[in-house]
């Protein structure tokens, strides 16, 4: 039963697995670690899995750009859910290892900036070497190649290690955002606290193109939550943008803004409308409710029908 | 038969009458001069006339602001036609009067700047006094009160005068624009070379309100042809704007822009979609054809239906 | 002594004279009525007068567009002062005339809409005829040509009439704005509650040109107070814009915005920075004080000098 | 001699080293590989090296976000040079290995998408495992742990391997951009084909903040070449933007735009003005040359001095 299987960016013991396990339905699914973000998403495309959980923002595992690029350029998948996971590292060691005995540490390269200040203060002499993932670093400690690895505390059990120090993070509020993607289907109904994601390619690289896109959102009263540029692979200076905005495609203001994008862009790809993990409802500006859009459309139709507002029949 | 009657800004012999007579149907209508623009338009509102021709732009008769204000704030009427009339004055005198005998000249106050340089060159000693209209000035010459009047050449016969000098105008290409208004009804079908007029009141006097309006037009690729501000009568600094733009309300880009105005403004009034007198067809920007708007709407609907572009069914 | 003479839009007894008399220095000046706005301003240009007071906005005398056009296109003059005058009409009659005896009324054409509703309610049978000015109407009543004239109450004495009814006005808060113009000289020092006026000609009639102008003001945090379009006389569809904005040219945000206009426009004319008649001080947006502009310029200069913020010398 | 030493993102044999060797002065410098981008840049900050070459855009080594974040948030360094390097991979094997014998391949995770299609076509059965860098992958092949590694062809000699297949890349025109950073100092003089980089933090996350930034560039006629958003580490939804634009800080239009950013942003950091690697000179829009900016400033100053354009002394 492929719908009963969820893939995720592995190996076991990564933050991605921890994020996936926060979803209630994960308890009844087979959870399969994959070697890379593309592999996790391809399993869904090929029908071998019903969904894939992958990091998309502020990752400590390095999966972000792969996710963004796969969503934009790979065979279409939609986002159905997002998960926010606070990020804190544990220093994992073989049982019995003491802090002063640590000469070498490892972890994913993008974890390094997050633990750098901690290292300077607590292990200034220890030598850092990069691993392919945080979990892989834990495995290499298990194998005795390094003395300690930075990883999620939850990874300790998987690799027979113990967390010597926990809750290590340089930035306050370090959070990684993950998305659950699936094959294209009808988006979930609006909840009132939704988010919509799109990928878009500007018609040309004239200076005003991105500006026009942002004006389209502003004109419809739709707040942007994330904007990320990615090279298109067609040479330096050609970008694809990925944008998250407040609201659901079924909200008139979002639908209207996205129609504008469709006209302005050389290509635009809908990536999903889904509930916000933080549950925050947007504060709507005057003139941007569904009722305002409907009233505006009705006014145009009445005017076309020869019945503008305020007119009265001749005496 | 009131539909068979057209009113216009009188008295007889004004440029407005001349403009009205350029319309083919004027030949079969009863043409009735009225004392003022509001009076001409009220006759239509009350069913006493089928239409009214009034000057709206660059007038030499002083009717412009009255027209603009009546369209914006009076009981609703729609514009169905526009007429462009080149403006040139004749110097009208009682038969036999010679140039050197002219000591006093008259005309409407707004005519004065148009003939000022001519006066300085040709009648530097003559004294100017204002009349209530150009035609009224002609009447006062007829009565012997002044020696000469500036008016349209066509006014000479009406008042028993003769044109001593013709084709007087300071500005090259001086043209006045007139509109034919009628009671609200279905606008004429789009011709491909149309114009749409609206009056609008900004939601508040915050700095960006007018900017947002203009951005709405720009976002839909709709060119503005006229923008005029008028005090609302609610105190200095409160304005109503009257805007003419390229295109017909039935054009998707115009309908879309006007819907945006309806949402952004505290009030907006549709004043008509009608053929352009100059017959110029707009050059459409990429992404602003009716087809582009339809394609954008269909894309949004497909996405809501779970069928985004480029997706294929799972294997 | 020409500097001791002020001209104004006459004849005597108009609202313009009343406005002029609100200025303290008027008491020590010779006040000379002129036949037209251009005549009043030409007297200043030619050195025959030190200043001219003319209506510029919401006038009940019809001088507005003449003033706007003269400021934009005539030989340059600057605005040094503005006067706001509440507008209310009196119904002037020959002494002894009673309301029910009034069959004909007169006044300037632009006064008519302001008294129209009053007429409908109180003199529904009276016939309206236009006069060249409100004061001229009073004169015609004096001569017995009409029964009553609408004019300022102050005009009664000049023409030997009496005010039968006073405080007539359809719009609440009807106010006319007048400006005192003089030959170009250094503007008065900023008071903190100032206004700046400019006339500008767009580089071409492309749709975005006016939009760019407004964005320039918005980018500098400068609020617009008036925007008025005027045909340039080069044919329908070519406009000159006249803009009043908050602040003094010596304020950095205003200077910066006007520099932008100079670059964007085919022509821009400075029309003066002068104290606001209402004394209102603008609420500045963050980042738009003089200090913010100076700090920004200093930062750029430090960066060019190789001393960006936050750098420290190498160890 | 620290100025004689350049660090770079190691290990030896990466694309970064290849990029560094394209600089003429590299021939006379000591080139030192560092374990990470922060380490390479810290060596410059601490005075141990005169410059550091690090990848910043479209990298196949994973250094991009580290570079962007270090430039934005680390102790200030400036960009003095950029290098563009076409990216193509070689499949490196121990001498004598044949294609059909390859069961396991390795490389940096971000290299995988670039070689994915090639793998599917040529080695569909081979198993991929990630390495910490492309060069590290080569080392692991040397040690016999994997059969083949994707890396730059130039890495073969360093690790005693041979390139079995060369010029492997999925995207046409795959190019990585590297920057040479140094301690803050005066930027090189403008060449006419320059680029300027800044990092900025929006004043708040209101919808229009980024829009205002882009409008500032547009208003000054400055084209954007790259815009990249990075989380600030203060929680999801808070971004820092890094922008490259055409032109040199000493160009008036660029200086003006950056002054606007300084006013609009809560923080802005100048990251350098340096010659474009592609040597392309920007096409300037009307009104944006240095001369236009100077003329605008002079006009404002003349107006403040009471000498507006077009005025003549009174007769």
pLDDT digits (tens, 9 = 90+) for B3-60: 799 999 988 888 999 999 999 999 999 999 998 888 999 999 999 999 999 999 876 6
Average pLDDT, chain C: 89
CA–CA separation, C264 and C201 (whole Å): 9
Contact A38 D236 (CB under 8 A): no
Of C145-159, C222-236, D46-60, the range with the lowest mean pLDDT is C222-236
Evaluate if residue D60 carries a pLDDT over 90.
no
Interface test with B, best of C170, C224, C230, C239 (most B CBs within 10 A): C224
Chain D residues in contact with A234 by the CB 8 A cut-off are 171-173
Query: What mean pLDDT value characterizes chain A?
Result: 89
pLDDT-derived band at C5 (thresholds 50, 70, 90) equals: very high
The lowest-confidence range among B148-152, B309-313, C138-142, C178-182 is B309-313
Instruction: Tell me the per-residue pLDDT of D128-171, one tens digit each, with 9 for 90 and over.
Output: 888 878 888 999 999 999 999 999 999 999 999 999 999 998 77
Closest CA to C15 of C3, C29, C38, C33: C33
Is residue A122 very low, low, confident or very high in pLDDT (cuts 50, 70, 90)? very high
Which among A38, A110, A211 has CB closest to D214?
A211
> Considering only A100-109, C20-29, C47-56, D221-230, which range has the smallest mean pLDDT?
D221-230
The 10 Å Cβ neighbour count of residue A13 is 25
Residue A52's nearest CA partner among A3, A121, A116, A115 is A3
Ranking A242-246, B192-196, C111-115, D293-297 by mean pLDDT, the lowest is C111-115
pLDDT at residue number B62: 57
Chain D interface mutation, best of A131, A176, A231, A232, highest count of D Cβ atoms under 10 Å: A231
Check CB contact under 8 Å for D36 and A223.
Answer: no
Nearest to D282 by CA among D185, D214, D148, D192: D192
* Closest in D84, D222, D224 to A236, CB measured: D84
Confidence at residue C236, expressed as pLDDT on a 0 to 100 scale: 60
Whole-number percent of chain D with pLDDT over 70 = 92
Cβ partners under 8 Å of residue D96, min gap 6: none
CATH number of B1-87+169-185: 3.40.190.10
Closest CA to D264 of A218, A224, C288: C288
Q: CA C173 to CA C175: how far, in whole Å?
A: 6
Q: Which of B107, B271, B120, B94 is nearest to B182 (CA)?
A: B271
E strand or H helix that includes residue D184 = none
- The topology (CATH level 3) of C187-307 is Alpha-Beta Plaits (3.30.70)
Weakest mean pLDDT among A198-207, C187-196, D74-83: A198-207
Q: Are C75 and D307 within 8 A, CB to CB?
A: no
Residues in chain A with CB shorter than 8 Å from the CB of B7 are none
3-state helix, strand, coil in chain C (%, to 5): 30, 30, 40
Domain spanning A186-301: CATH 3.30.70.260: yes
**Which residue among C65, C131, C206 sits closest to B132, beta carbon to beta carbon?**
C131
Instruction: Choose the weakest-confidence range: A302-311, B121-130, C98-107, D96-105.
Output: A302-311
According to DSSP, residue D157 is labeled H
Query: Rounded distance, CA A63 to CA A43, Å?
Result: 16
What chain D residue is nearest to A83 in terms of C-alpha separation?
D236
Write out the two tokens for C36.
Answer: 């037209």
> Alpha-carbon distance C311 to C299, whole Å?
13
How are strands ordered across the β-sheet holding D175-182?
D30-34, D5-9, D51-57, D175-182, D78-86
Task: Kindly state the tokens that stand for C279.
Answer: 């004394």
Neighbors of chain A by Cβ distance (3+ pairs < 8 Å):
B, D
Residues carrying CATH 3.30.70.260, chain B: 187-315
DSSP calls for chain A: -GGGEEEEESSTTSHHHHHHTTSGGGGGSEEEEESSHHHHHHHHHTTS-SEEEEEEES-SSS-HHHHHHHHHHSS--EEEEEEEEE--EEEEESTT--GGG--EEEE-GGGHHHHHHHHHHH-TTPEEEE-SSHHHHHHHHHTTSSSEEEE-TTHHHHTT-EEEEEEE-SSTT-EEEEEEEESS-PPPPP-SSEEEEEEEEESS--THHHHHHHHHHHHTT--EEEEEEEE-SSSTT-EEEEEEEES-TTSHHHHHHHHHHHHHEEEEEEEEEEE-TT-PPP-PPTT-SHHHHHHHHHHHHHHHTT--TT-----
Sign of the Cα pseudo-torsion (B193, B199, B201, B206, in order): positive
Comparing CA positions, the residue from C180, C133, C174 lying closest to residue C26 is: C180
The Cα of D270 is separated from the nearest Cα of chain A by a number of Å equal to 20
Tokens of A170: 């340089």
The predicted pLDDT at position A313 comes to: 43
CB contact (8 A) between residue D249 and residue C304 = yes
Contact C110 B236 (CB under 8 A): no
| pLDDT category of residue D114 using cuts at 50, 70 and 90 | confident
* pLDDT reported for residue B114: 82
Mean pLDDT of D36-60: 90
Residues 6+ apart with CB under 8 A from D25: none
CATH number of D1-86+173-183: 3.40.190.10
Count contacts between B and C (CB, < 8 Å): 131
Which of these, A251, A178, A266, lies nearest to A217 by C-alpha position?
Answer: A251
**In whole numbers, what is the pLDDT of chain B averaged over residues?**
89
Measure the CA–CA gap between B235 and C278, rounded to whole angstroms: 12
Q: What is the pLDDT of residue D233?
A: 62
Percentage of residues of chain A with pLDDT beyond 70: 92
Find out whether D139 and D13 touch, Cβ atoms under 8 Å.
no
More confident residue, A116 or B268: B268
Does pLDDT of D37 surpass 50?
A: yes
Reported confidence tier of residue D315, pLDDT bands at 50, 70, 90 = very low
Helix axes A64-73, A37-45, angle to 10 degrees: 30
Kindly report, as residue ranges, where domains of CATH 3.40.190.10 are found in chain C: 89-168
A296 pLDDT higher than 90: yes
DSSP symbol at C72: H
CATH code linked to domain B187-315: 3.30.70.260
* Interval D69-90: pLDDT, tens: 899 988 999 999 999 998 889 9
Query: Which of the two residues, C279 and B113, has the higher pLDDT score?
Result: C279
Give the pLDDT confidence score for residue D65 in this predicted structure.
78
Q: Name the segment(s) of chain A with CATH classification 3.30.70.260.
A: 186-301
In the three-class reduction of DSSP (H, G, I as helix; E, B as strand; rest coil), residue D59 is classed as coil
Percentage of chain C surpassing pLDDT 70? Answer: 92
Sequence-distant (6+) residues with CB within 8 A of C176 are: C15, C19, C55, C57, C58, C59, C60, C61, C84, C85, C87
Q: Return the CATH number of C89-168, one of 3.40.640.10, 3.20.20.70, 3.40.190.10, 3.10.129.10.
A: 3.40.190.10
Q: Which CATH class is domain D186-306?
A: alpha beta
Question: Does residue B206 or residue D281 have the better pLDDT?
Answer: D281
Q: Please check whether residue A232 is in contact with residue A266, taking contact to mean a CB–CB distance below 8 angstroms.
A: no
pLDDT in tens, C230-268: 777 666 666 788 999 999 999 999 999 999 999 989 899
């Amino acid at each position: 039963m492929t719908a009963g299987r969820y893939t995720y960016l592995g190996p076991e013991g990564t933050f991605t697995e921890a994020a996936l396990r926060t979803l209630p339905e994960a308890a009844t699914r087979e959870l399969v670690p994959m070697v890379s973000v593309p592999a996790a998403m391809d399993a869904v495309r090929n029908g071998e899995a019903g969904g894939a959980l992958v990091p998309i923002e502020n990752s400590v595992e390095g999966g972000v750009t792969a996710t963004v690029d796969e969503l934009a350029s790979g065979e279409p998948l939609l986002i159905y859910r997002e998960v926010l996971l606070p990020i804190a590292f544990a220093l994992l060691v073989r049982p019995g290892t003491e802090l002063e005995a640590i000469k070498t540490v490892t972890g994913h390269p993008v974890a390094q900036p997050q633990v750098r200040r901690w290292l300077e203060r607590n292990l200034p002499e220890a030598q850092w070497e990069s691993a392919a993932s945080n979990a892989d670093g834990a495995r290499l400690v298990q194998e005795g190649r390094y003395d300690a690895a930075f990883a999620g505390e939850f990874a300790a059990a998987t690799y027979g290690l113990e967390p010597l120090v926990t809750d290590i993070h340089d930035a306050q509020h370090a959070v990684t955002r993950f998305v659950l993607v699936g094959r294209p289907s009808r988006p979930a109904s609006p909840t009132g606290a939704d988010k919509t994601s799109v990928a878009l390619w500007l018609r040309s690289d004239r200076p005003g193109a991105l500006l026009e896109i942002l004006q389209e959102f502003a004109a419809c009263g739709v707040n942007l939550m994330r904007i990320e540029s990615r090279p298109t692979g067609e040479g330096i200076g050609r970008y694809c943008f990925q944008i998250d905005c407040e609201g659901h495609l079924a909200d008139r203001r979002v639908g209207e803004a996205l129609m504008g994008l469709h006209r302005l862009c050389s290509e635009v790809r809908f990536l999903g409308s889904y509930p916000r993990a933080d549950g925050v409802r947007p504060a709507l500006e005057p003139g941007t409710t569904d009722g305002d859009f409907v009233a505006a459309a009705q006014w145009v139709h009445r005017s076309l029908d020869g019945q503008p507002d305020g007119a009265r029949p001749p005496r």
